Amino acid sequence: MQNKECERVKAILASSLTNTFPGVVEVCIDKGVSLEAFRATKAVLVKQLPGDNPYDGLISVAAIV
C-alpha cells in the first residue's frame, strides 16, 4: 500500500501547482507524508496563492509538514 501511495504522490509532481512549489513536494516525499496530508498542504497553498508571489503560503505549509 505504501509503494502505491508513493507512486500516486510522485504522479502529482507533474501538476502545475507542484511545479510552482517543487520544494514542498520534495519535503513531503522525504518526510513520508501521507497522500492525505499532501492534499491538505496543496489545499492550503491553493487558498493562499497570491497573484504575484507564489511563496507567501509557505509559512503555513511549514506548520503542516
Query: For the segment 6-63, what is each residue's pLDDT rounded down to a tens digit?
Result: 777 667 665 655 667 777 777 877 888 887 887 888 777 777 666 555 555 554 444 4
Residue 33's pLDDT is 81
Residue 65's pLDDT is 47
Residue 8's pLDDT is 72
Residue 13's pLDDT is 60
Q: Can you list the alpha helix ranges (DSSP code H) found in the chain?
A: 2-12, 16-20, 22-30, 35-48, 58-64
CA 19 vs CA 3, 22, 35, 56: distances in Å: 23, 5, 17, 15
| Dist CA 35 CA 51 (whole Å) | 27
Q: 10 Å Cβ neighbour count for 63?
A: 9
Calculate the CA dihedral of residues 14, 19, 37, 23 and round it to 10 degrees. 130
Residue 45's pLDDT is 76
